Amino acid sequence: GENVEQHPSTLSVQEGDSAVIKCTYSDSASNYFPWYKQELGKRPQLIIDIRSNVGEKKDQRIAVTLNKTAKHFSLHITETQPEDSAVYFCAARGTGTASKLTFGTGTRLQVTL
Amino acid sequence: NAGVMQNPRHLVRRRGQEARLRCSPMKGHSHVYWYRQLPEEGLKFMVYLQKENIIDESGMPKERFSAEFPKEGPSILRIQQVVRGDSAAYFCASSPSGGIANEQFFGPGTRLTVL
């Protein structure tokens, strides 16, 4: 089955700096890669996603890149703000009837003033 | 347009009791997924259901756990004879279909504590 690895597990940046979180996946057939943000005690919320026919996608301060050959994808947050502090999860989904998401282990991002 | 709803939000059970967790998908969504999140860990897939059908239960323990999504009413995740290791947050998500194009929307979760 699919295996998703995520690094780093914790990340501390100063406000205004950029943050990068990286994930690798094992199943070359996976074709959908969402990123979720989860604040303490809250539900995971989708912040951006990318499909395998696209190499990069950007939404304001957030961007995601995908390298299918290397089977890795990354989340980039620019001009970080304190409200970006949360746990971020990457995920991958395969094809066919396997619609489940396989999640990474999460990255706790702390944006300090 | 209400989002995914789950109840109860918090559930306390003693070892050996049964836990029933409910999930009402978003309006128009016919696909439901259950995930379990242990403290300080990621989300682990448990089961994927459509109305009256279990599509994929590969992540659900074979014993004590069962899930259903009846024609009418919410999806139910049932845990019999709970043990302390079942303590976790259980999230359900829904999507309009199981296709790649569809985002999974998560509910607020049920936090199960087994005493």
List, as own/partner pairs, every contact residues B44-51 make where C-beta atoms lie below 8 angstroms and the sequence separation is at least 24, other chains included. Answer: B44/A103, B45/A100, B45/A101, B45/A102, B45/A103, B46/B77, B46/B90, B47/B77, B48/A99, B48/A100, B48/B98, B49/B75, B50/B98
Tokens 């989708």 belong to residue? A46
Q: Would you state the pLDDT for residue B40?
A: 78
Percent of chain A predicted with pLDDT > 90: 78
pLDDT > 90? residue A106: yes
Q: Would you state the pLDDT for residue A49?
A: 94
Q: Which residues of chain B have a CB within 8 Å of the CB of A95? A: 100
Q: What is chain A's mean pLDDT, rounded?
A: 93
Of residues B14 and B99, the one with the higher pLDDT is: B14
State the pLDDT confidence band at A99, using cuts at 50, 70 and 90. confident
Which residue in A44, A46, A51 is closest to B43 by CB distance?
A44
Cross-chain Cβ contact B108/A42 below 8 Å: yes
Percent of chain B predicted with pLDDT > 70: 96
Task: Give the separation between CA A87 and CA B42, rounded to whole angstroms.
Answer: 10
Query: Looking at this protein, which amino acid is placed at residue A108?
Result: R
Q: Would you state the pLDDT for residue A94?
A: 74
- CA-nearest residue to B10 within chain A is A41
- CA-nearest residue to A101 within chain B is B45
C-alpha atoms less than 13 angstroms from C-alpha of A37 in its C-beta half-sphere: 14
pLDDT > 70? residue A97: no
Mutating which of B41, B100, B103, B105 best tests the A interface, going by the most A Cβ atoms within 10 A? B100
Closest CA to A64 of A89, A40, A97, A84: A89
Q: Would you state the pLDDT for residue A26?
A: 93
pLDDT > 80? residue A1: no
Each residue of A32-87: pLDDT tens digit? 999 999 999 899 999 999 988 889 999 999 999 999 999 999 999 999 999 999 99
Q: Which residues pair with B44 in a beta bridge?
A: B36
**Average of per-residue pLDDT across B67-89:** 96
- CA-nearest residue to A40 within chain B is B40
Q: Would you state the pLDDT for residue B86?
A: 96
